[in-house]
Structure 1
Amino acid sequence: MSGGGSIICDFIAHTVPFYFLLIATRPELFNVTRTPSSDRTMDLGLAEDHFSRPVGSLVASDIEQLKLAIEECKKLILELPEHSERQKDTVVKLIHLRLKLQELKDPEEDEPNLRILLEHRFSKEKSKSVKQTCDKCSTIIWGLIQTWYTCTGCYYRCHSKCMNLITKPCVRSKVSHQSEYELSICPEIGLDRQDYRCAECRSPVSLRGVPSEARQCDYTGQYYCSTCHWNDTAVIPARVIHNWEFEPRKVCRSSMRYLTLMIPRPVLKLKEINPLLFNFVEELVEIRKLRQDILLMKPYFITCKEAMEARLLLQLQDRQHFVENDDMYSLQDLIDISTGRLSCSLTEIHTTFAKHIKLDCERCQAKGFVCELCKEGDILFPFDSHTSVCHDCSAVFHRDCYYDNSTTCPKCTRFTERKQDDIPEEKKA
């Protein structure tokens, strides 16, 4: 009860001043009109515990009494001296009565738990938090007395009453069908090309703020109204790839949701988009080498029973693309590289993998190589920093031996000789 009580107290703390303001300025919102003050004594007809019985025992007359009490309470608020203690207590009483009426009406029976609209999959929320904001009308969602929904795909939130007004399809569908970023930095086309209208809802906008302020999205370069652009900020992929810049910029709501869903997806092939980036960012070179080593370790693990039982490759389950290729990056990868987080975690995983192959597992140790050029030294592995690998047969040699050797790879030479021996004499002639 203490948790629920604190929520109600917070709700009252936010709502009481709001009720006073509405009563003073717009009494018509309460469906009442000011009447001359009278000597009418009013008990509201209700004790605090009158409606505290189990819901199953309530009858229609209880709801009717509650509605009458609410009407009487609203009239009394307008008749009492403004900002008096008694008026304040009556406002609190009105709030409690409205909450109780909402409970008795049981809106969950009237509203479906799941609604599908424009590829959104809206799920009815049970949370009573009052700190959410409707993405459609940009007003607060009063969870205690209002029904609201959240899209399970793009996390679009809105009142139940606003759902039929939604015109923007679910962003997750765009992510599924078009997983690529805008790679031009703020590709502005100009407000005149937009006919001085919001790029999303098409409501009139102006740089002077009349009738509505035009706000630019740094990701799309287009202008939006204040309902579609809340001055949210996000890291812009184009600025990261071209300038290695991670300062968050202002984006519209739809761009914010799109970038949030796209951030873990490995869709950036840096060596094609901007290969010069590796010349200026040392951390990228380090990460690329670690990823190349992990790909060389992968064949050891998928043929090793102990490694499969230990599920070593699952240490990279949050970055599955690291065990598939070494050239695709997600925006989250680049953000973590800039902060140093990825380098630390990947180095630790690299050390664990190398320890299993070179020290802990006899099966993996047996798959090592001896340098056939000098026939000396320790067992070599393709991911060792001092080795070189033949591109044709994958044999491993000391780097110095490989580059100093003027002849071809000994293993490749043997393969060539065997093929020659398998050719019949008549074909050789």
Structure 2
Amino acid sequence: MSQEMDVGIRTRCQKPVGLSQEKAKFCYYSGRYYCQTCHQDSLFIIPARLLHNWDTNRYKVSKQAKEFLEFVYEEPLLDVKQLNPCLYQHCEALATVLTLRQRLQSLRAYLFSCRAAIAEDLRRRMFPREYLLQHIHLYSVADLQQVIDGKLAPFLLKVIKFASSHVYSCSLCSEKGFICELCQNSQVIYPFQESASKRCESCGAVFHAECWQRGQPCPRCVRRELHQKPASFWSQLDADDSPNNSALGYFEMGN
């Protein structure tokens, strides 16, 4: 056996491990080898494996990795839209949570424009995870663990029930509904009624889900497009033909 093999690998604590030394243990988080003192077979979810493969298994990690993962466990550091937006298509539970967070984000706009006490009540119910209201793609490892366990969706539904009940019963919030411009039905609809309404991603107008699925163009977007178009040639010509136009002076007879 060569001298290099005999010395083996030096771990982070500089203790030699290898074939002729103490058995080395692999950390699935850092990708490094550790001695048995620095690695005690603690099990933890690996964030990268969870985000990229929805691998919910727990892997052996070193003591140092375990301490770090526990430290950031409840920190909202993982943006699914940036890191792996396709995950929503492959994980039904996560897609369901996204829909609930979109509804909650719409409700937040209502409650935060109402009385201060109502907004504070919503904050209290979400504390310390107000980011679930504001940044719908942001998660902590703890949040994703709750998605796996089926606990995050019921929590969000409970908050949605409170917030939507307030909107329906509040004289101020209930007046901020929408009328579907596609069917002109006088029934007031709200953007957080996910099964009954759909929101235009371009302008924010709200329509009945059935009306929106017919593929008609958004009336508000059409109006905006018409207003943004430059004046046509004939409109400009009409303006030039105005009696007040200074160009007519060229055709005036001199004294």
TM-score class normalised by the smaller sequence: 0.7 to 0.9
Output the CA distance in 2 between the equivalents of 1:307 and 1:398.
31
Output the CA distance in 1 between the equivalents of 2:54 and 2:181.
44
Q: Which residue of 2 aligns with 1:125?
A: none
1:368 and 2:177 aligned: yes
Q: Which residue of 1 aligns with 2:15?
A: 203
1:340 and 2:150 aligned: yes
Q: Which runs of 5+ in 1 are unaligned?
A: 1-190
Map Cα deviations across residues 33-53 of structure 1 (whole Å, 9 max, x no partner). Answer: xxxxxxxxxxxxxxxxxxxxx
Q: 1:381 to 1:415 in 2, by over 3 A?
A: farther
SS in 2 for 1:226: coil
2:8–2:19 contact (8 Å) kept in structure 1: no
Q: CA deviation at 1:224?
A: 0.9
Output the CA distance in 1 between the equivalents of 2:119 and 2:94.
32
After TM superposition, the structure 1 = structure 2 runs for residues 142-161 of structure 1, keeping only pairs within 5 Å, are none
1:381 to 163, 182, 190: 190
Q: CA deviation at 1:277?
A: 2.3
2:93 to 283, 286, 309: 283
1:392–1:412 contact (8 Å) kept in structure 2: no
2:177–2:190 contact (8 Å) kept in structure 1: yes
2:200–2:218 contact (8 Å) kept in structure 1: no
After TM superposition, the structure 1 = structure 2 runs for residues 238-253 of structure 1, keeping only pairs within 5 Å, are 238-253=48-63
Q: Which residue of 1 aligns with 2:166?
A: 356
Output the CA distance in 1 between the equivalents of 2:65 and 2:71.
10
RMSD, matched Cα: 3.0
Q: CA deviation at 1:405?
A: 6.1
2:40 to 230, 238, 262: 230
Q: Which runs of 5+ in 2 are unaligned?
A: 241-255
Output the CA distance in 2 between the equivalents of 1:379 and 1:369.
5
Output the CA distance in 2 between the equivalents of 1:223 and 1:245.
22
Q: TM-score, normalised by structure 1?
A: 0.49
Q: Which residue of 2 aligns with 1:293?
A: 103
After TM superposition, the structure 1 = structure 2 runs for residues 121-200 of structure 1, keeping only pairs within 5 Å, are 196-198=9-11, 200=12
Output the CA distance in 2 between the equivalents of 1:415 and 1:317.
42
Q: CA deviation at 1:411?
A: 7.1
The one-letter code sitting in structure 2 at the alignment partner of 1:252 is S
Give % identity.
Answer: 30
Map Cα deviations across residues 157-193 of structure 1 (whole Å, 9 max, x no partner). Answer: xxxxxxxxxxxxxxxxxxxxxxxxxxxxxxxxxx98x
2:42–2:63 contact (8 Å) kept in structure 1: yes
Q: 1:417 to 1:249 in 2, by over 3 A?
A: closer
2:29–2:61 contact (8 Å) kept in structure 1: yes
Q: CA deviation at 1:427?
A: 10
Question: Relative contact order (alpha carbons < 8 A, sep ≥ 6): 1 or 2 greater?
Answer: 2
